[in-house]
Amino acid sequence: MTGTFNHRDERLRRQAQQELQARPPLPTWQRRVVERFAVERGTGWYTLLNQFAPDTPPNRPDVVLSGPQGVLAVLLREEEPAWEDSRAAFVWTAELLAGVPTPHGMLTEAALRTVVVVPARTGRARSGHSGEHLLIAENELDRVLVGGERVLEATDALSVARHLGNSTFDLTPIGWNAQHIPAQRGAGETGVSGRSSGLFEVDQLREERFERAVRGPFQDWRIFLDDSQLGLVRRQYSGPARITGPAGTGKTVLALHRLAYLARRSTGELLYTTHLRNLPRIAEKQFRSLAGQVRDRVRFQHLHGWAREFLVERGRDAEVDEQQIEEAFRAVWERTGAGGPLATARPSRAYWKDEIDRVIKGRGLGTLEAYRHAPRRGRGGNLTPGFRAHVWEFYCEYERELSERGVYDHNDVLMRALDELGRKPLERRFTAAVVDEVQDLTLIGLRLVHAISGDAPNQLLLVGDGQQQVYAGGWRLSEAGISLSGRGEVLRRNYRNRTTIVDEACEFDAVNRFDDLDGGPAVTMRSALPVLGGGRAVHWRGADQEEALVAALRALDDPSDAAVLTRTNNAAARWEEVLRQAGFQVSPLDRWEGAPSAAVHVGTVHRAKGTEFRSVFLPDEPRPVTSYREEAEAGQRQALVAVTRARDYVWIGKVETR
Ligand SMILES: Nc1ncnc2c1ncn2[C@@H]1O[C@H](COP(=O)(O)OP(=O)(O)OP(=O)(O)O)[C@@H](O)[C@H]1O
């Protein structure tokens, strides 16, 4: 075997030497490197040499390689170059690559890495990522050519190489011929078009793409996007923009790609934020795997965390004591709420807490007069201006209680941060900010992200889905001074949920109170296009739900990546206990950072926003019967969020006692 390989390597080396002789000579060490690259043709790498090498402009790659581990923009330099040059070389190559179609989707620039190779005599290169590139010495080429994660199939690698060779005169194939390589078509494999464009026959492949390629070993959201996703990653927006789409349509994936794309074409810090505490941690982990080289450019932080940190930097108090807030509210409710007009109108403490959190403070209403006329979207209960005076009185009591206890609540933190920004804006705004799950922000939260980001091109991207709103209340973007002017986009292909799960989700009447507010087209789960067929939904009915759920968990073919989702914290705590006693390893959702684990995740639907699991269990739990429309609607939206966390399997319990 070895003999065969050596013979092949030798042939490839001689071919490369001949081709190199016909062009301006390279310094000896560079020639050695290019020959080595060319020999790797035998392991699936295609080499393209910059026609200007060794006098390549400093901001261009000397060599580009396409192979199993992706695409490499290689700079052969005597010394480590300035980061601006290696970044420019990356962007130059990325622009050539933009949207190469493959059977798995459009290739993204996550498949591309910049590698700087310096001569061996320089000694071992200062190893590792400098942020923009990987620096290695000539004798360390194995680090990028051998092993590592495989991201391209052989046909993809060749297709990409041909595309590069055919899209610029600057890159010349070495050791292979972009025009004459025969198409490779094996069983179940898609071949390469013989056309000189070097592209796949995309039209023929479109049909196959969803069914076959998505299931294939290389359907990876980091490396391949669909055409509408990739278009939005690269689109230039002249002001704030918004992306909507039903659950599982790749909104977060798109947002992460866009952050990476913008990070590589700008300076300064970028921000991914949301009101959810655990989502930034999960998104950060995904981003690291997508764009490790620019990971330090993007801050992943939930909005309250950002506001607290900002206030502290400005020397202002920002501590929030959850327990004190809860006690303050309870005291006021018992003193004036429970026996007063509020309880008569609506005997729910939580409802009036939401009225303060989501309407009065959430909208930053400073006077009774403002509250009298404020819209109360999605809140139900048509409160007359006269009745609102009672609510206002109750709110003032709550504020007095907080101030006597010397505490701020979460809304205070956002409002104080907004005030502080009004007094003295950020010295340097974020280059770009993405706000995920935007439908659940309060109006003050929305104003705050707008104040942080501004209106400049590409600076603010709002990502959300009105059908998945799980917190009360609502707003119009215009109330926060944000104008989209047509910069609203919709995604429709669902990559997460198998068809059966989507069908289950469509059973819920999850009214979208957002899209019709902002004038965009209302796209609901029913109009989503599931890419993955199959899936399984089990509706269990009976008396002993604990026994049934535990048995169903034990019966899973693949027990990894399972979650039990509940409506309330109490129910989550109880299920944690039940599962532990049944011998399961349990991981509370609020501490989860997105890493795969064998433990069963347990938490509320609120904590599960933005996450996904192979199997999801939704046990029945007692819920108050409601005659209020908005509560029923909220329940339906929560149920939709819960079901759409499942990729393959959903178990829905219903306790039926005699
Ligand atoms: N182009 C793609 N190819 C393959 N998988 C994809 C693609 N886009 C997204 N996915 C996968 O689909 C799933 C859902 O993506 P994502 O979380 O971005 O959706 P979302 O629209 O933000 O969902 P939700 O609104 O429910 O939070 C993820 O598993 C993601 O990896």
- Residue 536 CA to residue 523 CA, distance in Å, equals 25
465 ligand 1 Cβ < 6 A: yes
- Residue 190 clears pLDDT 50, i.e. is over it: no
Atom of ligand 1 nearest to the CA of 254: 18
User: pLDDT for 37-47, tens place per residue?
Assistant: 999 999 999 99
Higher pLDDT, 500 or 524: 500
Q: How far is the CA of 438 from the centre of ligand 1 (A)?
A: 17
User: pLDDT for 400-455, tens place per residue?
Assistant: 999 999 999 999 999 999 999 999 999 888 999 999 999 889 999 999 999 999 89
69 ligand 1 Cβ < 6 A: no
- Residue 474 clears pLDDT 90, i.e. is over it: no
- Residue 103 clears pLDDT 90, i.e. is over it: no
3-state secondary structure 1-67: CHHHHHHHHHHHHHHHHHHHHCCCCCCHHHHHHHHHHHHHHHHCCEEEEECCCCCCCCCCCCEEEEE
Task: Let me know: does 202 contact 100? Beta carbons within 8 Å.
Answer: no
**128 annotated to bind ligand:** no
Atom of ligand 1 nearest to the CA of 491: 21
At residue 464, what are phi and psi to the nearest 5 degrees? -175, 180
- Residue 364 CA to residue 481 CA, distance in Å, equals 14
User: pTM for the whole thing?
Assistant: 0.89
**473 annotated to bind ligand:** no
Q: How far is the CA of 247 from the centre of ligand 1 (A)?
A: 8
Name residue, tokens 């390989």.
5
pLDDT for position 2 = 45
pLDDT for position 1 = 44
Cis before 54? omega within 30: yes
Q: Nearest CA to 44 among 15, 8, 93, 75?
A: 8
Q: Which of 29-43, 118-132, 431-445, 465-479 has the lowest mean pLDDT?
A: 118-132
Q: Which of 58-72, 337-351, 421-435, 644-658 has the lowest mean pLDDT?
A: 337-351
User: pLDDT for 374-383, tens place per residue?
Assistant: 888 778 777 8
245 ligand 1 Cβ < 6 A: yes
pLDDT for position 578 = 97
CA angle 382, 386, 390 (to 5 degrees): 90
Give whole-number Cα distances, 408 to 321, 355, 398, 413, 545, in Å. 8, 17, 11, 7, 41
At residue 340, what are phi and psi to the nearest 5 degrees? -110, -170
| Domain 226-315+419-491 matches domain 535-655 at the CATH topology level | yes
At the topology level, CATH places domain 226-315+419-491 in Rossmann fold (3.40.50)
Higher pLDDT, 2 or 509: 509
User: pLDDT for 609-624, tens place per residue?
Assistant: 889 999 999 999 887 7
What is the ipTM for the molecules in this complex? 0.99
Q: Nearest CA to 434 among 265, 608, 296, 252?
A: 252
Q: How far is the CA of 149 from the centre of ligand 1 (A)?
A: 21
User: pLDDT for 550-560, tens place per residue?
Assistant: 999 999 988 88
Task: Let me know: does 302 contact 417? Beta carbons within 8 Å.
Answer: no
**231 annotated to bind ligand:** no
644 ligand 1 Cβ < 6 A: yes
CA dihedral 445, 451, 455, 460 (to 10 degrees): -40
- Residue 473 clears pLDDT 90, i.e. is over it: no
Q: How far is the CA of 224 from the centre of ligand 1 (A)?
A: 12
- Residue 402 CA to residue 398 CA, distance in Å, equals 6
pLDDT for position 441 = 92
User: What is the mean predicted confidence (pLDDT) over 109-114?
Assistant: 95
Give whole-number Cα distances, 232 to 237, 420, 458, 551, in Å. 10, 34, 11, 44
For the domain spanning 535-655, the CATH number is 3.40.50.300
Q: Tell which one of 218, 496, 497 to mutate to probe ligand 1, the residue whose CB is within 8 A of the most ligand atoms.
A: 496
Give whole-number Cα distances, 508 to 505, 586, 607, in Å. 6, 29, 20
User: pLDDT for 236-291, tens place per residue?
Assistant: 999 999 999 999 999 999 999 999 999 999 999 999 999 998 899 999 999 999 99
Q: Where are the domains of the chain?
A: 2-212, 226-315+419-491, 322-407, 535-655
Residue bearing the CA closest to ligand 1, atom 6: 221
**252 annotated to bind ligand:** yes
